Amino acid sequence: MVLVGVGPRSRTSGTTTPSVSTRGMHDLSEVTVESLGLFGLFRRERKFTTTDSVLVFPSWEDISQVGILESSMGVSEGASKSRSGIEVAGTRRYVAGDPYRNIHWRNSARTGRLAVKEFESWSERSVAILVDADDLPVQETGDRPSDYAMRMAATAAAPLIDTGGTVRIATTEGGEIRTSWQDVMVDLAKITDQPAGTSARWAEEVSVGERVLAFVHSSNTEMLASLTAMARAGSEIAAVVFEGFMPGDDAGSAVNSLNSVGVNAVTCRKGEFSKAARELEHGVGSGGYTSTAPVPEFDTLDGSEELAA
């Protein structure tokens, strides 16, 4: 409520500034102006029904590079064949688990059976970001792991795009390939907390061969399993695993498991966002559980091509 004094036969004006800090879309309510006559005997009220909304971006930290991802995919790799990583090289027969968005409808109609697109090698500058937005059943007060995931994604997206890369926030809607950091921030700001298991299903929107940067809570076993499966299928993945958001929360086991299949992973404890951002910037070996294990040999997997966020 704002009180403004107005004298007889006079006019006044003023402004109010709402303060919102929580990421997401916020609706601004209608405004009611009420005036009282002499001694409060007469009351006049006018309602301004125009409403508005404001989208609050996640906060972020400035970093110069995403070193954890560069060490994951090898900085000495040759030039990419496709800037965005979506050049179609051909088609093949559909197998269970293939993303529906990769179905080649024209070839499917011509042959009478479902066919999916096969892509050229994904660009080293094209990155799919997976964020864990699942609600925790029990968590400490204050920041949620989903808040940290969005902030980490925002922090990483800036240098990726500044160096000419593209970023895609993977969700069940697929996610648009972005070349503008502001567009990425809009995508992140619009993501709300989800029921358990949702973020793991977002993995199905990631294609084989995409570079993947994941931000996941240590208790999200489904999403961690999806990351492991993608790594075994040949995807190059880096991850930040969150801990300290619920009793007994420990990321050590999850990070070691990811390391064992070639995923570059670091931890981020609640209250230590800036420290984890530096590890994100400088890569494996700059702190946390970051020791990499040799990548074991795996037999060829049948159509295991996907992941989560």
pLDDT of residue 291: 36
CATH 1.10.3470 matches 67-85+124-282: no
pLDDT of residue 239: 97
Kindly give the pairing relationship between strand 237-243 and strand 166-169: unpaired
126, containing H or E segment: strand 126-131
- For the segment 103-128, what is each residue's pLDDT rounded down to a tens digit? 888 888 888 888 877 655 445 578 99
pLDDT of residue 95: 75
Tokens of 143: 């920041």
Domain boundaries, the chain: 67-85+124-282, 86-119
Name the CA dihedral angle for 290, 201, 121, 280, rounded to a multiple of 10 degrees. -30
pLDDT of residue 302: 36
List helix spans (H) across 249-290: 252-260, 273-282
Mean pLDDT by 10 residues, the chain (309 residues): 65 70 78 67 70 86 91 40 50 75 84 76 74 83 90 96 91 84 94 93 83 96 94 91 91 95 95 95 62 35 34
Query: 99 burial class (0-12, 13-18, 19+ CB within 10 angstroms)?
Result: middle
Q: Is the pTM value of this prediction over 0.75?
A: no
